[in-house]
Amino acid sequence: MHSPFKEDLSVYATLANRRFECDEAGRLSQYPGGDAQAVPRFYLGRTVQGNVWRFSADVPRDVLIDLARWAGLERPLGPGGASGLVPPPPPERWPHILARLGAEPLVGFGSAWAVLRPPDGGLWAPSSVGRVFRLNAGNVRTLGKEFADARDAANRGEMCFVKLLDGEVVSSCHTQCHLPSGETELEVFTLSAYRGGGHARDVLWHWLESVRREGGVPVARSTWEDDSFLQFARRSGFKLWGEDRVVF
């Protein structure tokens, strides 16, 4: 049975809770597992249903109060903001937020992330060209170095499908992470020489069907600058669920 997509603000908030561990006061403290990456000082997630925001532990209280007030006043994404995969207008108070934190705007990858959901039903039929199979620890050595992320996922026991064409693995789709509320985040990769041939859609079809069969709810994330993935997502019927912004 397919799980319905739980498109509400409380579920979206779990995205932040999954990506960052919080201290007892609910402040962002570190990445899961104690990852040494720099944790954002401020996070803002926007959806049609409303906004979610988080602060790191080192944000002074007077700054925190201002940021919380501005985030609370910020308009959610408009109804049209989730109808297509195009960047929504930036938050009206984003320049004030950056200035209050003494931060410079991020440019390029990482400036803002689109949080996407795949179609709930009526999926396309997979191609009969080539062969798609699920990867596991026993056959993971069939992957080339370009598929390092998929290989790592399979070795961790995550769901991973690959497509074999003329004896070569050309595309993969694997589980990147699990969210506490049941959402499962995906990652897709295709060798550059084979992009545009529908191979990514084939592995995605098998991954989506398997995740939903197990009761999961699939989601994806992409920077707005990743034109290749966004084009693929549009062709595959993905919809915009929300947008994430961070300040380091």
Do residues 236 and 161 share a domain?
yes
Residue 17 shares a structural domain with residue 98: yes
What are the distances in angstroms from CA 150 to CA 43, 106, 113?
A: 28, 29, 22
- pLDDT tens-place values along the chain, 248 residues long: 233 344 567 777 776 676 677 777 778 876 655 554 677 889 899 988 889 999 888 899 999 999 999 999 998 887 655 456 888 888 999 999 999 998 876 654 456 888 888 776 656 677 778 899 998 877 877 777 888 888 888 888 888 999 999 989 999 998 877 665 556 778 888 998 998 888 988 998 888 888 878 877 778 878 888 887 888 888 888 888 889 898 88
Which token pair is 18? 């999954």
Quick one: 167 and 71 in the same domain?
Answer: no
pLDDT of residue 239: 84
Residues 25 and 109 in one domain: yes
The residue out of 87, 115, 143 marking a domain boundary is 115
Instruction: Tell me: do 61 and 142 sit in the same domain.
Output: no
Same domain, 72 and 164: no
Instruction: Tell whether 98 and 161 lie within a shared domain.
Output: no
Last residue of a domain, one of 115, 147, 182: 115
pLDDT attached to residue 107: 53
- The residue out of 57, 87, 115 marking a domain boundary is 115
Predicted pLDDT at 120: 67
In a domain, 140, yes or no: yes
pTM above 0.85, yes or no: no
**Which CATH number is 199's domain given?**
3.40.630.30
Q: How many domains does the chain have?
A: 2
Q: Are residues 147 and 86 in the same domain?
A: no
Angle (CA) 224 84 149, round 5°: 45
Which residues neighbour 220 within 8 Å (Cβ) at sequence distance 6 or greater? Answer: 115, 116, 117, 118, 185, 186, 187, 188, 233, 238
Evaluate whether residue 126 is within a structural domain: no
Is residue 123 one of the residues assigned to a domain?
no
Please give the pLDDT value at position 193.
92
* Segment (H or E) for 167: none
Q: Is 1 contained in some domain?
A: no
- For residue 60, the model assigns a pLDDT of 92
Q: What was the pLDDT predicted at 122?
A: 56
Same domain, 150 and 235: yes
Phi, psi of 217 (to 5 degrees): -120, 110
The domain in which residue 102 lies consists of: 9-115
Residues 146, 193 within the same domain = yes
Query: Are 30 and 97 within one domain?
Result: yes
Indicate if 194 and 94 belong to the same structural domain.
no
